[in-house]
Structure 1
Amino acid sequence: MARAVRSSVRARFATAVALAVALPLTLAACVSGNPASQDAPEQSGDAYSGEVEWWTINLQKNYGPDIQKMIDAYRSAHPDVTIKWVDVPGQDITTKLLASIASGNVPDAVNYTSATTGLFAGSMADLNKYFSAEELAAYAPGLAGPLVTKDGRRIAVPWYNGGTSLGFYNSDLLTSAGFSTAKPPKSYDDALALAKTYHQSSGKAATNFMAYSNVVQGNDIALLSEDRTKAAFNTAETVALLEKFKTSFDSGAIAPGSLGANQRELPQSLENRQIAFNPLATSSTLLNVEKNSPAVYKSIAVAPPVSGKSGKYYLPGQQVFGIPAKSGNQAAAAAWIKFVTSSEQQLALCKLVPIYPSTLKTLEDPFFTDISGSTPADQARKILRDTFGNSVDASLGSGNDEQLRELFDQQVRAFMSGTKSAQQALDAAETAWNSALAKGK
């Protein structure tokens, strides 16, 4: 596949995740409560007959023939099953699924994002009925684990993801700071120390990463209470973390543009050489550097992202499959999902699209193990593979993750700009979160 197409696909993946988490409040109110606890339609009970209406996100345009081959292969083995494939634009999936649930006319198997699991949890069937413990063990625990509700219901299984964050370092610029590609920062403190050293040696900003909600979470600080009803981040530990970043920001080691609301278009970037590194960047950042600044791209050293003491690497979200509770052909839907998410089918998809699987066995294939190149892109792929075992889905399961994170980040900006103290910012964020969470009940 041409590089341009692969790059655009990853960009669309990120866009789909971002757009799909928007909460259409009117429709959400229509499906509030716990529909999954109501009587489900009468089931055929046959795993290999009837029609399975299957919804995906943004695959038809570029991969229609490939997906159709997968469907044809399945039907060849199970001729009594019909797969009705419906591909939905990323920006429409949440609204379309909410509308279908509200009307009772639901798909049998649906692809949605883990950021919206809290929104749809009450409307999904419990997949523990259809997946054995052995079958579930095929998925990475850090990806499958968050898809279980507090009462033990499995509302989805993982499909694919865009990989964890990565650390990108301009080795040319960082020479003055004594940076070694063999010893990149491992912790957040390491990254702040490197930023200080670089700033002192060059007089320039070193990085643009900031203590937003993802960084707080990455430091192993819980954002939500265990029952997901209240904010949990307002602690002395979080105050200390914010103040640590404020010191770095005020010194000039962290770029002033890091407070920009659009984190995809910050004024100081690796591309324009106005920062020297980002220890917690999305993988798509490297594609942008390669496209817009080839000279900088050649000097980029790639490393695992920084992490907290747990050593966990957080995914910004993942694509998952669920079965609406009002589906009348759940057994057949489950059988189809098992096929689509099998290690073999995930490998085939990963060869088409620059994504990463949810099944452990897929990463054992030479496609992932035999990476001989030495370009930054090759380094990134190796690291994404190697960090997979410690990957955890960062989704909160609130049903409105994006809004909550933005409410938090707004208060961080207020603190960093000097209009509030760290404690005042956390108090305001806590109040905003608890209000939003209460409205979502």
Structure 2
Amino acid sequence: MTRCALTIGALALSLFTAGCVAGTSPQTAAAPADDPPFEGEVEFWTINLKKNYSDYITGLIAQYEKEHPKVSIKWVDVPGQESATKLLAAVASGDVPDAVNVNSIELGRFVPSLEPLDAYFGQKDLADFQPNLVEPMRMNGKLYAVPWYNGGAPVAMYRRSVVSKAGFDEKAPPTSWSEALKLADTVYDRTKVNGTNTIPDHTALRYHGVPLLTDDKKKAAFNTPEAVAVLEMFKKSYDRHGIAPGAVSKDIRNLPQSLENGQVAFKPMANAAELLNIQKNAPEVYEDLAITEPVRMSSGGYTLLAQQAFSIPAASTHKKAAAEFIKYFTNGANQLAFCKIVPIYPSTVSSTKDPFFTDAEGDDPMAAARQVIVKGLPQLQYVPLGTTKDAELAEYLMEEVRAFLQGSQSAEEALDAAEKKWNDALA
């Protein structure tokens, strides 16, 4: 029996930006037809979706199989920490899935082994996608991924019962990291609860107007006095316990102190999708949350950190079948249905015109998050690093920041070391 594998990614960590680049490239080649027409099993993988979204996924599968009676769908759910490793192993072995969900941060790493999608997704196929989300999926003029969902504008989450003891006013929340860290320190001083669990990554530098790369993307550009000041500001809060001690953990999915386990008071910039896990695993925390606008960039806007997208490996033998399933899975109606069960933002324009978004209201944390997301869309920017090593570069910086926060080096030494790692990698 013919087999076609499709990997769909999970709700991300932090899902992230959208700048406005108009237009899409024309279809440059005719999509090859399967010969004979595809019949058989389409296997697709998800990442940590079965626990919370089984009904949604199985409902789509049932509908697709009804519309394509000669195709059966096999669903495999993959643990989040194994997703990139499994894809790398598949590429190395040559036994690749026919389509794969890739976080945009990881896209550059896999581009050499991905199929350009221009032959399968023409202008008509891309017409409903937001152009500012499609364009960052192109490299060297070729489309390597089709956007799925993202976190929209970030939101801030505050535990009312804790931050109220520090004088927090949810109608006037912190608008900068400086204000947020000051609140975090006050929260700890008055309650002995850590304020937050965020440490300065490359996004924090970007929020303070620090450029990350030179214009030609060949060298690091963040080693500046401004970046030193940002790191030292966070270090002061870390030393005062405004930032939780476990924030330096490498396992960012399971930090020792979190909103979910009730050991931090707030997150000044978060992915709204985190609300679902809090609701399911810590309902008392969920009911206590105030959702507000997050901290802003020095330019006044917000940044989308990443988005979930679909790609097709070049070694796939059923590219057209995979592309057709991707089109179905990411269409406006199906994205809207997903958005109704978790506070995420779609990549399709038609979805955003539904009353679910245009008439969003209510005090429930998820409803409040949708209001923040919709309001923040005009100020949302998606500007990925745009190299083939975005994920590695981000981790190189975080390694040095963790060492700095734990006192083993100065801010200057951390930035010097990270700059060398970036330049070596980019070379």
Indicate the TM-score class for this superposition, using the shorter chain for normalisation.
Answer: 0.7 to 0.9
Instruction: Name 1:113's counterpart in structure 2.
Output: 103
Q: 1:97 to 1:256 in 2, by over 3 A?
A: closer
Instruction: Name 1:380's counterpart in structure 2.
Output: 369
Instruction: Name 1:66's counterpart in structure 2.
Output: 59
User: Which runs of structure 2 are paired with 1:201-240 in the superposition (5 Å)?
Assistant: 205-225=194-214, 228-240=217-229
Find the aligned partners of 1:94 and 1:173 in 2 and give their Cα distance.
38
Q: 1:128 aligns with which of 118, 126, 147?
A: 118
User: Which runs of structure 2 are paired with 1:35-184 in the superposition (5 Å)?
Assistant: 44-45=32-33, 49-50=37-38, 55-58=44-47, 62-63=54-55, 65-72=58-65, 74-75=67-68, 82=71, 87=76, 89-90=78-79, 93-102=83-92, 106-133=96-123, 135-149=125-139, 151-163=140-152, 165-184=154-173
Find the aligned partners of 1:92 and 1:203 in 2 and give their Cα distance.
36
Find the aligned partners of 2:90 and 2:253 in 1 and give their Cα distance.
33
Instruction: Name 1:247's counterpart in structure 2.
Output: 236
Find the aligned partners of 1:404 and 1:66 in 2 and give their Cα distance.
39
User: Which runs of structure 2 are paired with 1:279-298 in the superposition (5 Å)?
Assistant: 279-283=268-272, 285-287=274-276, 289-290=278-279, 294-298=283-287
One-letter amino acid of the counterpart of residue 171, structure 2? A
Contact 1:177 1:194 (C-alpha < 8 Å) held by counterparts: yes
Offset, 1:203: 7.8
Instruction: Name 2:25's counterpart in structure 1.
Output: none
Offset, 1:169: 1.8
Contact 2:161 2:288 (C-alpha < 8 Å) held by counterparts: yes
Q: Normalising by the residue count of structure 1, what TM-score does the alignment of the two structures yield?
A: 0.73
Offset, 1:267: 4.9
Instruction: Name 2:298's counterpart in structure 1.
Output: 309
- More helix per residue: 1 or 2? 1
SS at match of 1:415: helix
Find the aligned partners of 2:416 and 2:267 in 1 and give their Cα distance.
29
Instruction: Name 1:30's counterpart in structure 2.
Output: none
Offset, 1:430: 1.7
Give the superposed CA RMSD. 4.0
Offset, 1:361: 1.8
Instruction: Name 1:31's counterpart in structure 2.
Output: none
Find the aligned partners of 1:50 and 1:232 in 2 and give their Cα distance.
49
Find the aligned partners of 1:267 and 1:326 in 2 and give their Cα distance.
41
Find the aligned partners of 1:93 and 1:266 in 2 and give their Cα distance.
20
| CA offsets 1:24-83 (integer angstroms, 9 cap, x no match) | xxxxxxxxxxxxxxxx9x96358994459563424678255313233235437xx8xx57
Instruction: Name 1:430's counterpart in structure 2.
Output: 419
Find the aligned partners of 1:57 and 1:274 in 2 and give their Cα distance.
30
Instruction: Name 1:404's counterpart in structure 2.
Output: 393
Offset, 1:159: 1.2
Contact 2:14 2:305 (C-alpha < 8 Å) held by counterparts: no
One-letter amino acid of the counterpart of residue 144, structure 1? V
Offset, 1:353: 5.8
Offset, 1:171: 3.0
One-letter amino acid of the counterpart of residue 124, structure 1? L
Contact 2:180 2:268 (C-alpha < 8 Å) held by counterparts: yes
Contact 2:259 2:265 (C-alpha < 8 Å) held by counterparts: yes
One-letter amino acid of the counterpart of residue 121, structure 1? V
Contact 2:162 2:265 (C-alpha < 8 Å) held by counterparts: yes
One-letter amino acid of the counterpart of residue 126, structure 1? P
Contact 1:44 1:329 (C-alpha < 8 Å) held by counterparts: no
Contact 1:45 1:329 (C-alpha < 8 Å) held by counterparts: no
Q: 1:185 aligns with which of 170, 174, 191?
A: 174
The count of residues paired between Structure 1 and Structure 2 equals 400
Find the aligned partners of 1:92 and 1:419 in 2 and give their Cα distance.
31
| CA offsets 1:74-132 (integer angstroms, 9 cap, x no match) | 437xx8xx576564624554455445545655544333332321122123233334434
Find the aligned partners of 1:56 and 1:161 in 2 and give their Cα distance.
18
- 5+ long unaligned stretches in structure 2: 1-8, 16-28
SS at match of 2:169: coil
SS at match of 2:174: coil
Range 84-93 or range 227-236, more displaced: 84-93
Instruction: Name 1:13's counterpart in structure 2.
Output: 11
Contact 2:207 2:298 (C-alpha < 8 Å) held by counterparts: no
Find the aligned partners of 1:110 and 1:222 in 2 and give their Cα distance.
31
One-letter amino acid of the counterpart of residue 188, structure 1? W
Contact 1:219 1:309 (C-alpha < 8 Å) held by counterparts: yes
Instruction: Name 1:29's counterpart in structure 2.
Output: none
Q: 1:338 to 1:247 in 2, by over 3 A?
A: same
Q: 1:47 to 1:188 in 2, by over 3 A?
A: farther
Find the aligned partners of 1:65 and 1:289 in 2 and give their Cα distance.
24
Contact 2:352 2:358 (C-alpha < 8 Å) held by counterparts: yes
Contact 1:48 1:332 (C-alpha < 8 Å) held by counterparts: no
- 5+ long unaligned stretches in structure 1: 1-10, 18-39
Q: 1:274 to 1:88 in 2, by over 3 A?
A: closer
